[in-house]
Structures are given as C-alpha cells and as structure tokens.
Amino acid sequence: MRHYLDHAATTPLRPEARDAWLAASETIGNASSTHGAGQDARRLLEESRERIAAVLDADPIEIVFTSGGTESINLALQGMWRSRPTSADAIVLPDAEHHATMDTVAALAEEGAVVRSVGVTESAAIDMRAFVAALPGAAFATALVANNEAGTLNDAAALASASAASEVPLHLDAVAALGHVPLSFRRLRSDAAPGVGLVAMSVAGHKIGAPVGVGALVAARSARLTALLRGGAQQRGLRAGTQDVAGAAAFATAVELAETEREDEAGRLSALRDRLVDGIRSAVPAAELLGDPVRRLPGNAHVLFPGAVGESLLFLLDVAGVAASTGSACQAGVAEPSHVVMAMGRTERDARSVLRFSLGRTTTDADVDAVLATIADAYLRASGSSAGARS
C-alpha cells in the first residue's frame, strides 16, 4: 500500500472535479464561436470564471485561465517587465521564491533587469524591512503567499500595502496557499492607485484536486501586462488561444470544494501534522522542524534530518511505501541543495538533508503511522550511507 504525503507537489484528482470535466467535455463548440454550440461552451466557460472569481473575491473579468502556476507566474512577471516604464529596471525578488519565479527573473536579468534580492528570516519568512527598502523605483515586486517548501506564511496584506505605498506593481504567488488560507484579491488590492500594489496573483488547479494543466492568473483590471501568447483577443488579449472549457469547469468545482472544506481541513491537517512531527522527533531526536512553527500551511512538515542524505532517505521511505519529497517537485530528480534552506541561513549539508511531508484531503492516520513506523530505521540507514559517502 502506498502512503502519499506529497500533496504539495500535486494532490489527487477530486471525483467531483473529474465528473465536472467529463460533463463539460460533452459540450460541443469553441467558446469563441458565435453559433449556438459555441455560445453554449462560452456560457459554461464564463460561469466557471464567475465561480472562481467568487471564491477568490475578484471580478470575473480578472480571472485569466492558464495551463497552471508556472504559466501564470511567467505571464505576470514577463508581462509586467515588458510593459514597465522605461525608467524602471529593477525587480524585487525574495531569496526563497519558487523556481518558476526565480528562473523567470534570471531570464529577465539576461535582458537587462537589475535584481534586488530580499533576504528571508531563519523561518523562511520574507524580511519585511528589506522588502520595503528594495521597493522604491522598481519595475515590479514578486512574493510568495506561502513558501512551497518550508510552509511558512508571509504577510500578504503587508506586502501588498508596502508595494502600493511605493507605487510598485506586485505579483503574489498563491499556488501553495490556495485552498489552505483565505485569499481575497479585492481586499489585498489597492484601488487608490490603479496599476500599483497587488496587480496579479497566480493559482493552480492541481494543488487542490483539479486536473493537471489548468490554472489562472488573477490580473487586476488596471494591470499593465504584455501577453506571452498572441493570436487572438481571448481573455482581454492576455492569453490567446482556444480556451479549455472542461478544465475551467473542473477547476471551478475544485476551488469551491476546497473553500467549503478549508477551515475544517485546516484543523484536521494541523492535528495530523503535529502528530507526525512529534512522532518523528520521538523516533529521531536530532530531527528539526524548519519554517515558522505557527504561521505555516496546515499540512506542511519540512524536517531537517542532520547527517542524512535527503535523497537516500527519500528512497528508503519510497521502498517502504511512503511518498514524500526533498523539496519543490519542479526540482525533483535534480541533485542540488535546497535554495530555500540555504536562504534560511543553513549550511549546504543541511540543505541536502531535508524532507518535506505534505498532507492533504486524502491523508489519514494510517499514512502518518506508516511514516512513524519506518522513519527511525530509514534515518539510521541514510545516516550510514551519508557517513560512508564522506569517508
């Protein structure tokens, strides 16, 4: 039996979202066509957009469907960079962002962007004083709502307020936060100065039980973005191409269910996570929970296992039927230390000795029990292989 504790990478498809996708896929017609079949598809598409907007507290027109979080982030960052005032050449980038953001900014740096790095605390929270100091005159800023590895929650309202005060556009990466913390685009957005403060927020469907391949960028009406894809005027001209009606319907269903369950699930997952962490510490006294102990995602346990190679530990757990992660799934299979852990001030050795257990709606006590039944032996063996590799 497999015990799946890698929901932060992707969470199982919800049956309701699958059913919504199958039902919507029976709709005939392109949503951009003017005939009856096309308008039927358009009606379903726009209803899905309205449902998602209602959960995220945004205007329906602000929901731009994408293929997922990575595309949403690229549309926001590249779009803001290419539509910036010519006098602005700086990008404000915290050190512990997701690679979708970091790699995009690195590519923009090759085009002339000046990167203003912002440090994070030892718990992976964005240093607000450093963030505020980096803002003046920047082309835009970007920040995580919740760190995808350490699980630490940032103060999204403070980030948005600071950006608005400095008249700098802000993008929030809410991919890891969606379904776990309340997200109100309207409340975070500044209406006093259109085009600055929070102007875009990225979300992805497969993190909450929608199919892989659908996401959205919430782009304020006042957002100045240059499109990545051209060839049509769909979605305010921000994302050309035939729109995925079935994916939108499935995403809307998953978003609504996640929001309905959110508070109860937060309590359940927090209790399971705490039992997992306490059990790991009992079995492996040297183990250390990283990230903020309180302000964190309810299902996240980011654990340092000193002296063990994370990849070896991951393999041993997998053999025992437990699926976890050494960090972001986008970097899975790449033997490199976690940049998040190093940004927290830890050593490279520590950054190679972490595991992320992420719990979700299908996680049970049996899954936690499976980890606790094997972690001590796995740590002992992984520590031995680590010692052997260094000798």
Cα(299)–Cα(258) distance, integer angstroms: 14
The string of DSSP codes covering 198-263 is EEEEEEESTTTTSPTT-EEEEE-TT-----SS-SS-TGGGTS-S---HHHHHHHHHHHHHHHHHHH
Q: Would you state the structure tokens that stand for residue 20, as one six-digit string?
A: 């919504």
Nearest to 286 by CA among 304, 274, 302: 304
Residue type present at position 164: A
Cα(261)–Cα(109) distance, integer angstroms: 41
Which one of the listed residues 320, 330, 373, 376 is annotated catalytic?
330
**What are the backbone dihedrals phi and psi of residue 294, each rounded to the nearest 5 degrees, phi first?**
-115, -55
Cβ-based neighbour number of residue 263 at 10 Å:
10
Q: Would you state the structure tokens that stand for residue 320, as one six-digit string?
A: 């025992």
Rg of the chain over all Cα atoms, to the nearest angstrom: 21
Q: Is 384 left (phi over 0), alpha (psi -120 to 50) or beta?
A: alpha
For this structure, is 330 an active site residue?
yes
Residue type present at position 91: I
How many residues are listed for the chain in this entry?
391
- Name the one residue in this structure whose structure tokens are 């009992």: 282
Nearest to 262 by CA among 177, 189, 205: 177
Cα(124)–Cα(190) distance, integer angstroms: 26
Residue 278 to residues 229, 281, 357, Cα–Cα distance (Å): 48, 5, 13
Q: Which residues does the annotation mark as catalytic?
A: 330
